[in-house]
Structure 1
Amino acid sequence: MSNYQARLGLYIAGEWLGPEGRATQDVLDPATGQVNAALPLATAADLDTALDAADRGFKAWRVTAPEARAALLMKAAVLLRERAGDLGRIATLEQGKPFDEAKGEALYAAALLDFHAAEGLRVYGRVLQRPSGTRSLVLHQPIGPVAAFCAWNFPIMNVVRKIAPALAAGCSIIIKPSEETAGSACEVMRCFQDAGIPGDVAQCVFGVPDQVSRHLLASPVTRKLSFTGSVPVGKHLAKLAAETLMATTMELGGHGPVMVFDDCDLDRTLDTLVATKFRNAGQVCIAPTRFHVQRGVYDAFAAGFAERTRALKVGSGLEKGVQMGPMANARRPDAIAAMVEDARSIGARVLAGGGERASGGGFFYEPTVLADVPLTARAMNDEPFGPLALLNPFDTVDEAIAEANRLPYGLAAYCFTENGRRQNRLGDEIEAGMVAINNVRLSWVDSPFGGVKDSGYGSEDGPEGVKAHLVTKTVHMT
């Protein structure tokens, strides 16, 4: 723990800054509720230093050869892979997810770096047709210093997902990860530092979220906001960004509908969905949550889902064989418990789980399955963001689509059917930024990741991730 404490800090202008002269915040182990370490929080002066450095860094980084930028990003990817085990243990220690999930997250983050490094070499403009002796050029240039904020649920990947496209496009960035998972972010930053990426190009700060966001977004240095988090906070930050007409990318919450039709491969569908629902204790913005099952297979689906859920091994993410760890903080079990009690009080049936807490002070909530959940239940309208599955029957395709689209969220949706025409219709009519049909894989390094409606706008990953950090300029020459 002493080493963990020593490696927490602010990374500003290429220097690691500790708690001296700064307020601190405890970082907890969610499996025990015990304090891991104290995290230093940035002062206003620290943020000003970071902004000045980001301004300088952008001016130099934007004219750095794309090949040189790509080489440094790929070197950081190599370091992420080499350190994936250590990164995974730190992420488990402060976020709770099983170690194999956390290590896999580090490896996926490395793949993101490799993709964006190459994509930065493919920023093409074009030459327009003009009379002889004249030229009109369309150029795509880096937008400027970026302020990025991200959540605690994927403490390794979320940080890389923000930094990689910004740096590939030629921007500098100041990132504020969650204070609750600071160690993971610090180790990611050390990979960038050790790869040779300048300390004024990629910086990391922690602090009181509202104070940090207001300070960074009010500065004329900051030209883009990128945020991953809840809908209410996203709307708040968008209002702050509007004061300076700042470009924004918003990856916000979801309430993933799942449409299961009676022609699906039921066992395969159940195996896939239960594992995905309770991955990361359900603390995933694209988690399948509202399971709408065609009436002919509803009872069999509900029984099979509950049986598989009860068989999951829950415990500390560092224990071998654990399939679901604790929730990330003390707030989350209480929030899920309140939703379960609300649904139960108005008629929902508890098929699995429902409230047992593990002893030892950790932030555990057992995987829970509710059936026949009234649409008026809080959990059917507000994102649970936890290990809670909600099951209801439907009869027709029209009913399934209407219920999937009922909420203002539009991040991810899932459909299971062998009918090709139905697959086409669902892909067309479901209001979501991402739709998976007969699978649950939505996050790919070369594919845009983002939502619609209250789930945000703009895309991360894929070519769109780099494009979100570019502005378009036309140059007319005579």
Structure 2
Amino acid sequence: MKTLSYDPLYLFIDGRWLDAEGRDTVAVVNPATNAVLGRLPLADASDLDRALAAAERGFATWRRTAPAERARILKASADLMRERVEHIATLMTLEEGKPLVESRDEVLRAADYFEWFAEEARRIDGRVVPANRPGVLQLVKREPIGPVAAFTPWNFPAITPARKLSAALAAGCSVIIKPGEESPAAALALARALDDAGLPKGVLQVVFGVPDAVSSQLIASPVIRKVAFTGSMPVGRLLAERAAAGVKPITLELGGHGPVLVFRDADLDAAAVGGAANRFRGTGQICISSTRFLVQRDIYPRFTERFVAATRALVVGDGLDASTQVGPLANARQLAKMESLVEDAVRQGARLLTGGKRIPGPGYFFEPTVLADVPMSARVMHEEPFGPIAVLRPFDGLDDALTEANRLPYGLSAYAFTRDARTAIDVADGLEAGMIGINQYRIVATELPFGGMKESGIGSEGGAEGIHHYLVNKFISQI
């Protein structure tokens, strides 16, 4: 395999690309090889102060920019992302580990979000409300909320920043974004495309640093008017508390533990073979991934056989290898967590049908793992595994399946497979999840809302709903 170059890493503040000189740095590591790809500069308090001042100035400029011009810049950046897809996808695979085909798809879908919200920028409108007094004009306007602090994780380093940036910028907000430090180059490539497309200086800042220090300083600043976060439930709760202290709205997309309900009349290949592909895509490090497969008892043995066979057929390896279907985990912490969850489940009586071990050699590789008949006391029945572990359990009737599906505080994604229309309606009505797939696993599209309920989040990104969180209402009554 040929040696591939990795982009230099920067902070991006007030239109300037700032390198590591005079700053602390952290290593960015290829999770497939353990090789150090580069050193990432970390923002200190003075860098964050400069980012806040720039965002304040940038907002003053950008909010007055005509929606058509905002749309033009966002569309131009989407075109640049598509032109640079191979380069950005390679960066993503090097730093995050996912197969190159998944990285390409992610970059193209990130570009789609910028194009979608470019059009939404042109559709921001208000209304005239008839007055109950003669001679009075009553207007409701929609205006950008103000500078935004956005925080995104490492697992989708292009599409997750894209959802936040495209909607906020389309609304007329400036943004300070802190992507995940483990996969920074892809997010910086998006910023480069926006800069090259003509985004005014100060409208976007990209910073990295110690997460707690960065979030506390940004959210506490009076400059910031809105917070957006994708990540874990514990961190989401912490950021929500910080935002609440300043009475600042927050959009949260947190964890999931996606149930899959498979009924006796389901297409077993679609549910089982497709389920294995979906579960282990991204090495299971996907918040909307199918995790708990709940299968009607009389088809449980046949489903299990097909699911295990499909899992064993998956090719694990370096994401740069064209044959790879499952890449490495992100870091050593994830490896240790997988081992701990499997050991706990087996010790309590679960059947280990395949996998269950780290793969020897360099990189953070773990075998795609299937656990059957997992007792309810096992940790994996309560904790989001966020790795290549699938859990199989039988159920008897619809009520039993819905009870288990809705048992956890998670409410992000859920899936069901049935040929019966009545069952499909009852399941869709009964599931407590923000996104539901019936007879399919692909539930994400730019034109649709992405978000959960319960403790899986507040608000939605994507779709027509995605821009609303970055706008405020202003009522004007004129005589």
Q: Give the Cα separation in 2 of the matches to 1:369 and 1:327.
A: 17
Which residue of 1 is the match for residue 162 of structure 2?
160
Instruction: Kindly report the root-mean-square deviation, in angstroms, between the aligned alpha carbons of the 2 structures.
Output: 1.0
- Equivalent position SS for 1:139: strand
CA–CA separation in structure 1 for the residues paired with 2:180 and 2:200: 23
- For 2:280, the equivalent position in structure 1 comes to 278
- 1:4 is displaced (CA, Å) by 2.7
Q: Which residue does the alignment assign to 2:124?
A: 123
Residues 352-431 of structure 1: matches in 2 within 5 Å? 352-359=354-361, 361-431=362-432
* 2:76 counterpart of 1:67: no
- 1:171-182 paired onto structure 2 within 5 Å: 171-182=173-184
Summarize deviations over 1:413-463 as a string: whole Å, max 9, x none. Answer: 000011111111111111111111101122110111101111011110011
Distance 1:325 1:3, change over 3 A: closer
For structure 2, the residue ranges without an aligned partner over 5 or more in a row are: none
1:358 is displaced (CA, Å) by 3.3
Q: Give the match's secondary structure for 1:138.
A: strand
- Deviation at residue 260 of structure 1 after TM alignment: 0.3
Q: Does 1:292 align with 2:318?
A: no
* Worse-matched range after superposition: 404-413 or 154-163: 154-163
Distance 2:288 2:165 in 1: 21
Displacement after TM superposition at 1:271 (Å): 2.2
Shift of 1:274: 1.0
- The residue aligned with 2:460 is 459
TM-score normalised over the length of structure 2 = 0.98
Conservation of the 8 A alpha-carbon contact between 2:28 and 2:37 = yes
Which consecutive segments of 4 or more residues in structure 1 shift more than 4 A?
none
Distance 1:138 1:297 in 2: 56
**Structure-1 separation of matches of 2:216 and 2:186:** 24
Structure 1 distance, partners of 2:195, 2:211, is 24
Partners of 1:171 and 1:436 lie apart in 2 by 33
Q: 1:258 aligns to what? A: 260
Residue of structure 1 equivalent to 2:317: 315
Equivalent position SS for 2:189: helix
- How far off is 1:268 after superposition? 2.2
Residue 146 of structure 1, CA deviation = 0.2
1:39-50 paired onto structure 2 within 5 Å: 39-50=40-51
| Corresponding residue for residue 434 of structure 1 | 435
Q: Which residue of 1 aligns with 2:201?
A: 199
Paired AA for residue 62 in structure 1: R
Q: Distance in 2 between matches of 1:30 and 1:339?
A: 21
Please name the residue that 2:338 is paired with: 336
Separation in 2, partners of 1:36, 1:183:
10
Residue aligning to 1:449? 450
Give the whole-Å Cα distance in 2 for the aligned partners of 1:162 and 1:12: 18
Take 2:472 and 2:358, find their aligned partners in 1: how far apart are those partners?
Answer: 52
SS at match of 1:278: helix
Aligned partner of 1:243 in structure 2 is 245
Per-residue CA deviations over 1:214-236 (Å, capped at 9, x if unaligned) read 01001000000000000000001
3-state SS of paired residue (2:282): helix
Give how far 1:2 is off: 9.8
User: Which blocks of at least 5 consecutive residues in structure 1 are unaligned?
Assistant: none
Distance in 1 between the 2:212 and 2:338 partners?
25
**Range with greater deviation from structure 2 (171-180 or 267-276):** 267-276
Taking the aligned partners of 1:342 and 1:271, their CA distance within structure 2 comes to: 27
Match of 2:409, SS state, is coil
Tell me the SS of whatever aligns to 2:122.
helix
Is the CA contact 2:339–2:358 (under 8 Å) kept in the aligned structure 1?
no
SS, match of residue 179 in structure 1: coil
Partners of 1:447 and 1:150 in 2: CA distance: 20
Contact kept, 8 Å, 2:270 with 2:439, in 1: the verdict is no
Which amino acid is the alignment partner of residue 35 of structure 1?
A: V
* 1:79-135 deviation per Cα after TM superposition (whole angstroms, max 9, x unaligned): 010011111100000000000100110000011111000011111111001244211
Quote the Cα distance in structure 1 between the aligned partners of 2:421 and 2:464: 29
| AA aligned opposite 2:424 | Q
Counterpart CA distance in 1 for 2:354 and 2:195 is 47
Q: Distance in 2 between matches of 1:219 and 1:168?
A: 23
Query: Which amino acid in 1 is paired with 2:211?
Result: P
Question: Residues 2 and 294 of structure 1: is their aligned pair in 2 closer, same or farther, counting only changes over 3 Å?
Answer: closer
How far is 1:197 from its partner? Answer: 0.7
Equivalent residues of 2:28, 2:182 under 8 A apart:
yes
Partners of 1:329 and 1:188 in 2: CA distance: 24
Q: How many percent identity over aligned positions?
A: 51
CA distance in structure 2 between the aligned counterparts of 1:241 and 1:321, rounded to whole angstroms: 45
Matching residue's letter, 1:313: V
Shift in CA distance, 341/290, structure 1 to aligned 2, threshold 3 Å: same
Distance in 1 between the 2:193 and 2:134 partners? Answer: 50
Task: Find the aligned partners of 1:358 and 1:175 in 2 and give their Cα distance.
Answer: 37
1:304 maps onto 2:315 in alignment = no
Tell me the distance in 1 between the aligned counterparts of 2:190 and 2:68: 22
Equivalent position amino acid for 1:205 in 2: V
Other structure's SS at 1:64 match:
coil
Distance (whole Å) between structure 1 residues aligned to residue 201 and residue 329 of structure 2: 33
CA displacement, residues 142-167 of structure 1 (integer Å, 9 cap, x when unaligned): 00000000011101111111100000
What is the CA-CA distance between 1:34 and the residue it aligns to?
1.8
SS in 1 for 2:33: coil
Deviates more, 1:190-199 or 1:75-84: 190-199
Note the C-alpha offset of 1:340.
0.4
> Could you tell me which amino acid in structure 1 is paired with residue 365 of structure 2?
F
Which amino acid is the alignment partner of residue 190 of structure 1? R
- Cα deviation 1:253-278 (Å, max 9, x = unaligned): 00000000000011122221111101
1:111 is aligned to 112
Aligned to 2:270: 268
